[in-house]
Structure 1
Amino acid sequence: MFVIMGAAVASSRAGSDLYEALARLLHKVPGSLVISNIGACALFSALTGSSPATCAAIGKMGIPEMRKRGYDADLATGAIAAGGTLGILIPPSVTMILYGIASETSIGRLFIAGIIPGLLLTGLFMAWALFLSWKRGTVLIDKDRIYSLKEKVELLPRLLPFIAVIVGVVYALYGGIATPSEAAGVGAMLCLLMVAVIYRVWRPRDLWLILRDGLRESGMLLMIIGASILFGYMMSSLQVTQSVAEAIGEMNANKWVVLGAINLMLLAAGCFLPPAAIILMTTPILMPVILAAGFDPIWFGVILTINMELGLITPPVGLNLFVINGITPDVKLQTILKGAFPFMLCMVLAILILCIFPELATWLPNKVMG
């Protein structure tokens, strides 16, 4: 149902409206167009929970507009590729749902735990975009353009209902009002109704495309889940899981060294496998190690998710890189990767910050849910 919810929003003009509204509001900020795109990616991620959908929806409008106004191709494409990864961190996140199932932790707590780190990562992305835009001189393009207050707020009535649905879904989850399945079902129905009313997406052919895309992604996830359960059963039967846990436990290494090794393993796996597959295959192996080291499983879920974000923009199988390359075929993949690399460093910095200040991930869930 969360997948259907995202597919409904992605099928409408919500992405382009969101981008245009932020571009008008942030017009006077240095590097405003890149910052607007990153902000649009963050908000659209919350609406869809899908990184490829975010890249496609915001990139189709944002990248040509940035290049037309003088921004270099590497910054324009790299910002969207990185901004799109926020879809699996900012709630509601399908990746966190899978981690919650695999680790038997609260999905509501995971959703809330992703809010502050998501804002932190968005801020780091924006800070880099602002610095690079200032350094390259692409600052305040069209600075003589003046938007009236009416022009700045005229798109908000279309967007606020979608944002209200996301806030309502998260509130229902952490407030104990509904289970994840119930909240997702209501959210999906409301999103379908809103795209029909607000954007006139009501024809049977349009609705079929939404359901087809949702079914395709859900089918992929269910196949991965089924295969990973078989994989986990085999690993357990062959004592591989227990052996790995015992080997790490007998290392007598500092717990941060163990965490560093886990991060390197996740980063390497992310270069070749999709996030869902990595989470479902590795979580049963890693959880005993994480708990034995005294780490909070909710906090680790956020760390793992940021590692999965890194995997989406690292070669050779960085999904977001290929989505952006499909949108802008005249831009070489090497150029997109060059633009995305500094944002990868921002993600590494975010992981380090969360290791030093774990309360950034744990404080809000504990404050809200006890």
Structure 2
Amino acid sequence: MDPLSLGLLVALATIVILFSGVSVAVGLLIVAAAFLLIFDGTRSLEMIPEIFFADLNSFAILSIPMFIIMGAAVASTRAGADLFEALERWLTRVPGGLVVSNLGACALFAAMSGSSPATCAAIGKMGIPEMQKRGYPDGVAAGSIAAGGTLGILIPPSVTMIVYGIATETSIGRLFLAGIIPGFLLTGLFMAWAIYATWRSGNAAVLSPRSYSMRERFEILPRILPFLAVIAGVLYFMYGGIATTSETAAVGAVLCLVMAIIIYRLWNPRAIWGILRDSTRESVMILFIMAAAGVFAYMMSSLFITQSIAQWIAGLEVNRWVLMALINLFLLVAGFFLPPVAVILMTAPILMPILEAAQFDPYWFAVILTINMEVGLITPPVGLNLFVINSIAPNISLRAILLGSAPFVGCMFAAIIILCLFPGLATWLPTLVMGPL
């Protein structure tokens, strides 16, 4: 069987296995082992344990559990509620300011936690009922929180960017910098649409039932500024040459735990144990997927599937932007069904040679890929953020949440188009801080 036909067979088998209900990591291992056994014999199976553990033998991987602990510590406190309340107090007299406050809180909390579901839950529990009480449309209330939660995988520090960096052997520091301006761009597009939708519904002048004094506005800041200072410190230590990414992540994790204990009095050992337990569970899940994807990539390469697909696409001789459009379509469909980490690890070995041949910047592409993955978080059938919103706001129907999220998907597509027209939005800051490639 020729490699391209074999690649199609692998794709079909992978889809069937993953839709059977097994976990992503186990499904990838099953497919890889089966095809190696059938087409390469039993000797190739001896390599699986070595490849499985070799893919985890990287110092950079230590940053993943550290950043997850950092986010879990923040998510276990009232930081999200305080962040929302602080922004609401400062923007209370701005027409449509409450929805802007929620999106701003989502962006900042996403940067602190790095978790989309945690952002939706932390901000949505207070933000959605408050917006409904003030007369904002249900679609705007639910859709803005669902979309705002996706910013966690784009705005640094981002676990998704770390996984991309490890999979493609690119600089994690550059990837973090590449996500900053596009993160602000996407947040701005979200806010612009939310204000327009509020104005269109006739509720743009909805204001707070009360005004806040300057004392009330400032008194809440000490509870959230330390966490934001940690994020700024993490970025400074990373780009100031003071520490590596993994070392910086470890310091950030410890500082966030200490602040959660001091500021929010998280003295209970069970609460601290819960943070470490949940962080370990999520870290192991990601690392298991990474190791299994390494075995899957080995199978694809060993059977010459990866090389043949890359040569076939390169031989099409289509315009590079047509090629990029096809890649975006592929990523979009993959993101509908698979988590971002799995998509990155499965597609990176195939896409990187193609991108290099087409002379696309890998750091710019990381941002494009991440926004595609964000779309998958608020679109069915998986759409994790949609179900998180539905669980914290059961009075809003899933249909209303879907319709409210749809315009924000349009904002993401607009961001991709803008980044294609102006790639410097993603590449300028990394070049400025770390020099040209």
Aligned to 1:74: 139
Q: Which amino acid aligns with 1:40?
A: A
Q: Which amino acid aligns with 2:417?
A: L
- In 2: Cα distance, 1:322 partner to 1:358 partner: 33
Aligned to 2:261: 196
Q: Which amino acid aligns with 1:178?
A: A
Residue 102 (structure 1) shift: 0.4
- In 2: Cα distance, 1:288 partner to 1:337 partner: 36
Contact (CA 8 Å) 1:32, 1:140: kept in 2 or not?
no
Q: Which amino acid aligns with 1:213?
A: D
- In 1: Cα distance, 2:402 partner to 2:280 partner: 31
- Which entry has the higher C-alpha Rg, 1 or 2? 2
Aligned to 2:87: 22
What TM-score, normalized by structure 1, do the two folds share? 0.98
Residue 143 (structure 1) shift: 5.1
Aligned to 1:258: 323
Residue 34 (structure 1) shift: 0.9
- In 2: Cα distance, 1:143 partner to 1:305 partner: 35
Aligned to 2:21: none
Which of the residues 224, 229, 246 maps onto 1:181?
A: 246
Aligned to 1:151: 216
Contact (CA 8 Å) 1:27, 1:140: kept in 2 or not?
no
- In 2: Cα distance, 1:166 partner to 1:332 partner: 36
- In 2: Cα distance, 1:4 partner to 1:196 partner: 14
Q: Which amino acid aligns with 1:30?
A: P
Which of the residues 368, 382, 386 maps onto 1:321?
A: 386
- In 1: Cα distance, 2:321 partner to 2:237 partner: 36
Q: Secondary structure of the equivalent of 2:224?
A: helix
Listed as ranges, the gaps of 5+ residues in structure 1 are: none
Aligned to 1:307: 372
Aligned to 2:59: none
- In 2: Cα distance, 1:141 partner to 1:362 partner: 39
Aligned to 2:50: none
Contact (CA 8 Å) 2:96, 2:207: kept in 1 or not?
no
Aligned to 2:10: none
* CA gap 1:140/1:152 in 2 versus in 1, 3 angstroms: farther
Runs of 4+ deviating beyond 6 Å: none
- In 2: Cα distance, 1:166 partner to 1:356 partner: 30
- In 2: Cα distance, 1:255 partner to 1:141 partner: 47
Is 1:61 paired with 2:126? Answer: yes
- In 1: Cα distance, 2:171 partner to 2:236 partner: 14
Contact (CA 8 Å) 1:81, 1:324: kept in 2 or not?
yes
Give per-residue Cα distances to partners, 1:54-108, cap 9 Å, x unaligned: 1111011111111111112111111000000000000000000000000111000
- In 2: Cα distance, 1:321 partner to 1:357 partner: 31
Contact (CA 8 Å) 1:28, 1:140: kept in 2 or not?
no
- In 1: Cα distance, 2:163 partner to 2:208 partner: 45
Q: Secondary structure of the equivalent of 1:141?
A: coil
- In 2: Cα distance, 1:224 partner to 1:14 partner: 30
- In 2: Cα distance, 1:55 partner to 1:27 partner: 21
Give per-residue Cα distances to partners, 1:295-334, cap 9 Å, x unaligned: 1101101111111111111110011111111111222211
Contact (CA 8 Å) 2:94, 2:207: kept in 1 or not?
no
- In 2: Cα distance, 1:212 partner to 1:270 partner: 28
Which of the residues 166, 171, 181 maps onto 1:106?
A: 171
- In 1: Cα distance, 2:352 partner to 2:399 partner: 36
- In 2: Cα distance, 1:20 partner to 1:144 partner: 14
Which of the residues 411, 416, 430 maps onto 1:346?
A: 411
Which of the residues 197, 202, 208 maps onto 1:137?
A: 202
- In 2: Cα distance, 1:146 partner to 1:81 partner: 28
Q: Secondary structure of the equivalent of 2:347?
A: helix
Which of the residues 295, 305, 318 maps onto 1:230?
A: 295
- In 2: Cα distance, 1:287 partner to 1:113 partner: 17
Contact (CA 8 Å) 2:153, 2:159: kept in 1 or not?
yes
- In 2: Cα distance, 1:144 partner to 1:237 partner: 66
Give per-residue Cα distances to partners, 1:184-216, cap 9 Å, x unaligned: 100000000000000001210110111121112
Residue 141 (structure 1) shift: 2.3
- In 2: Cα distance, 1:7 partner to 1:33 partner: 26
What TM-score, normalized by structure 2, do the two folds share? 0.83
Residue 144 (structure 1) shift: 5.9
- In 1: Cα distance, 2:100 partner to 2:334 partner: 30
Q: Which amino acid aligns with 2:71?
A: G
Identity value in percent: 67
Moved more, 56-65 or 135-144: 135-144
Q: Secondary structure of the equivalent of 1:256?
A: helix
Which of the residues 283, 293, 306 maps onto 2:358?
A: 293
Which of the residues 269, 283, 288 maps onto 1:218?
A: 283
Listed as ranges, the gaps of 5+ residues in structure 2 are: 1-65
Aligned to 1:337: 402
Is 1:362 paired with 2:427? Answer: yes
Aligned residues: 370
Contact (CA 8 Å) 1:30, 1:133: kept in 2 or not?
no
- In 2: Cα distance, 1:173 partner to 1:260 partner: 34
- In 1: Cα distance, 2:293 partner to 2:394 partner: 35
- In 1: Cα distance, 2:170 partner to 2:249 partner: 18
